[in-house]
Amino acid sequence: MAEMQRAEIHDLCLHARLIAPPNMAVRDFLQMASEPPFPHSIEKSMAFLELLRVLCAEATSQADMSNRLPVEMEPQLTNLGKLIAQLPLESQLG
């Protein structure tokens, strides 16, 4: 089993949000790995991190003027999330 699939998913998602480009979704960033975690696990973890208030959903892109698409929401790190990402603890313990 790949290390990425054995790692604590919440910490993996938190650190991925920290290092991924701001305009890239965490799930897209993690899917670039050779053996990525399951997409359902990523989505559940991102929701959990929002409950912990280490992530906050905010608009990251404007509506596409040609197609009038809705604004997509991609969670960003909160100040608390930035601090917890630096601690050598699981997200829940931070």
The single-letter code of the amino acid at 14 is L
Which pTM value belongs to this model?
0.76
Distances from the Cα of 48 to the Cα of 5, 43, 61, 73, angstroms: 18, 9, 23, 16
Residue 3 has a pLDDT of 63
Residue 94: the pLDDT is: 67
| Amino acid 57: pLDDT | 83
The three-class DSSP label of residue 73 is strand
More confident residue, 7 or 36: 36
d(CA 94, CA 84): 5
Could you tell me the domains of the chain? Answer: 3-86 (1.10.10)
For 29-87, write each residue's pLDDT tens digit.
999 999 999 999 999 999 999 999 999 986 544 444 444 444 467 899 999 999 998 88
CA distances for 41 relative to 2, 30, 36, 69, 86, angstroms: 15, 11, 10, 27, 23
